[in-house]
Structure 1
């Protein structure tokens, strides 16, 4: 398979980004299952939630990259830069769109935001929220290509990387240079997720290994 092209996402990428992530996280995702416990509701509302978040959070914050094969989006990485907090004027203005997407799940969505805030280190960091590939090309290096671009960005900023994941993904993120540093629970009775952190690597050390 050809090497994917990784670049910053644009508004023109929103539709294929939603398609890729909705397919990648359609099954066995504890976060979406917590936010939308009913499967029928989840399959209907989760893509709308993704669209609103990409449009009003990740793109404006500069926290979105895509991987392409033959000019087709096949992978997506979404993250928050250091100091970013969900909310603010932009989201207030987009309130009706978020409400239409979330329905009665707004509180559970806020629980996820709060858990990520608790999991985030105090040091400068980038917080990855979604890393997914089209199921048709999973296990072909798409996620690793996106994450390599991410680690390069973080190391150039001297920033750590942080994220939360289910037990089944701990080894995957360890292989990408992360360590498990704890756990965080969604809400008061939701699932417990692992906190994964990758410390920044000095560029001169990285260059010596290249």
Structure 2
């Protein structure tokens, strides 16, 4: 888990509208993001079996976290993770994090879908195929389930996801004053064979 936290922290430290909205101050982002990610990974993504990593030369170089179709975190797990997130993030960032969760829930389509939340490669492993390998795996898994694949991304990443046949469908604002993000969707496919 610590390697996943390291990769995500490095990948989203700068030039990510959502992380910059949740933690506007860079020093605070560097200090608080790892704790937030530990809680999210431990209490949301691992229990849902919704996390993969990519290894390069024996080290974790990338990770993808998503919300599987129909998955709802049990109330008891939310009760445990809520105070831990508040402690890790601080009150203001927790409020903004809740706005991110609300934007994800609001943008999610009615049809069965997997919702990508984080797709990350450590900086030295970007643009060398790590992200593509993880996306290819997630797409194959999603296609095998006959589900759509969705997510939010910044303007600069739309072309990347279009390379996987995901199209921008809508714009979604985080909270009332947060960034506007692209809601992207790759339609459900049925895997061959």
TM-score (norm 1): 0.88
The one-character-per-residue Cα deviations of 1:39-76 (angstroms, maximum 9, x if unpaired) are 21111111111111001100001110000112211000
Aligned to 1:178: 166
| Superposed CA RMSD | 1.3
Offset at residue 119 of structure 1 (A): 1.1
Alignment CA distance shift 1:195-1:108 (3 Å) = same
Alignment pair present for 1:121 and 2:121? no
Aligned to 1:101: 88
Aligned to 1:80: 67
1:23-34 matches, within 5 Å, as 23-34=10-21
Distance 1:57 1:71 in 2: 26
The one-character-per-residue Cα deviations of 1:133-175 (angstroms, maximum 9, x if unpaired) are 0111110000010000101111111000000000000000001
Alignment pair present for 1:55 and 2:42? yes
Offset at residue 84 of structure 1 (A): 2.7
Identify unmatched segments of 5+ residues in structure 1: 1-13
Offset at residue 20 of structure 1 (A): 0.6
SS across alignment from 2:119: strand
SS across alignment from 1:153: helix
Residue range with higher mean Cα deviation, 82-91 or 95-104: 82-91
Count residues in correspondence: 192
Offset at residue 83 of structure 1 (A): 1.9
SS across alignment from 1:62: coil
Distance 1:126 1:116 in 2: 12
Offset at residue 113 of structure 1 (A): 0.2
TM-score (norm 2): 0.95
Aligned to 1:68: 55
1:1-210 matches, within 5 Å, as 14-85=1-72, 88-104=75-91, 105-204=93-192
Q: Judge conservation of contact 1:125–1:159 (CA < 8 Å) in 2.
A: yes
Q: Judge conservation of contact 1:65–1:78 (CA < 8 Å) in 2.
A: yes
Q: Judge conservation of contact 1:86–1:113 (CA < 8 Å) in 2.
A: no
Q: Judge conservation of contact 1:79–1:128 (CA < 8 Å) in 2.
A: yes
SS across alignment from 1:203: coil
Q: Judge conservation of contact 2:145–2:190 (CA < 8 Å) in 1.
A: no
